[in-house]
Every structure is written in structure tokens, then in C-alpha cells.
Chains A and B, each alone.
Chain A
Amino acid sequence: MLLREMSFQEKRAWISLATMGLIYGRYFWSLTMQGGRGPFGSLLATVVQLVILQVVLFTLAAIFNPRDAQAKKDERERLIDLKATRVAYAGLSAGIICAYIFAGFPAPIVVRFDANSLLFVLVTAEMLRNVCQIVQYRRGVYA
């Protein structure tokens, strides 16, 4: 019932949030367990898993409601996208500054200034964007 109420764009946001949380959550957890270093292959495998999972779920969502899937984004969906992207950009900027500031300190993996910390910031910003989209789809979008 709830799924039928959702537009295709909202379903995309849910799928993106869930898959990124699951796949990257597992990647960063295993990285933390390995002391912050992992082979490049594990990152590659993570990205491939994410792409495959998202393609499968997006395709399933489109199959169950092809009319919604083919519809172009309307003005409300574009506005939600813009607002969510603005929030995510602020989060991304703050995350990068934090990663840079904490570069010199002995800190947990997530704030160490290296490629993985930047990836963590990027993933978090994207998930923040998805959360903002979902909140606006559920609670309404106001000027």
C-alpha cells in the first residue's frame, strides 16, 4: 500500500539509501576492523556490488510500475532534488573540512584524511541527500 503511494523518484531515494547503507556500511566496518587499510580490490568489489544491487532494484521498481518509471520528473520532484542537494553539499563541505582539520590528529578511521575518509564523507553526503528527499516526499516540500 505504502509502495503504491510512492512516486518512482521516492522509491529511487529509498533504494539508494538502503543499498548504500548496507553495502558501504559493510565496507567501512570491515575497513575499521582491518585498522583502516584494505586492498583496492575490496573497494572495487563494493562498488560493483552496489551497482548490481541498485540496477536490479531500480529495474524491479520500474517493472512493477512502468508508467511512473517512464514519467519525467515534475516541478515538485525537481524542487525536492534541489533542496536535498543543497543540504548534502553543506554536509559534504563540512565533512571535507573536518577530515582536513583532523588530518594531523590520531583519530578514528572516519576522520583520518585519506582516500577512504573522503569516500566516507562522499557516501554520507549522498545518504544525507536521500534522507532529505524522503523527508520532503513524506512531510511535504515548502518554499
Chain B
Amino acid sequence: MIRNEIRRLRFEHGEMTQQALAERIGMTRQTINAIEQGKYSPSLEAAFKIASVFGQPLEAVFHYAAE
């Protein structure tokens, strides 16, 4: 399962809203919410886009966790 730090990173980036993040990477707010809740694993391209919004390397945003 892919876990992520998006919620924390949004908070650390001026409490960026899900909508604001979604608009920056061309997704819907509901998809950002689904990623945060672990209900959807984004494509590699989307994962890179999210990491670049926060100025972080990919592995600082997403981690693989064996269930």
C-alpha cells in the first residue's frame, strides 16, 4: 500500500487546501482527498507533480508500506 504525507505537507505549506493542490496538478479535489485517505494510488506522473508542488523528492511524499 502507498502511504503519503500530503496532508502534513499541505499544512506546512500555509494550510494549502485540497482544491488549491488539485488545481495546480490538474486533478479534482475529490481525487486529492482519495489519495490522502489511501483510497487511490496516483500514477507516477501525478505523484511527481504533487512532490514538485511541495518542492520535495518523491520519497519524501510517498512511501510504500507492506500490509
Q: Which residues of A contact B (CB under 8 A)?
A: 5-7, 10, 68, 71-72, 74-77, 137, 139-143
Interface size of B in residues (CB-CB distance below 8 Å): 16
Q: Do A74 and B31 touch across chains, with their CB atoms under 8 A apart?
A: yes
Known: A140-B34, A140-B38. A68 touches B28 (CB 8 A): yes
Q: Do B41 and A71 touch across chains, with their CB atoms under 8 A apart?
A: no
Name the prevailing secondary structure of the B interface residues: loop
Q: Do A77 and B31 touch across chains, with their CB atoms under 8 A apart?
A: yes
Q: Do B28 and A77 touch across chains, with their CB atoms under 8 A apart?
A: yes
Give Cα A77–Cα B37 distance, bound, in whole angstroms: 16
In the complex, besides A68-B29, A141-B34, 20 extra interface pairs with C-beta distance below 8 angstroms are A5-B30, A7-B29, A7-B31, A10-B30, A68-B28, A72-B26, A74-B26, A75-B27, A75-B42, A76-B28, A76-B31, A76-B34, A77-B28, A140-B38, A140-B39, A140-B40, A141-B39, A141-B40, A142-B40, A143-B41
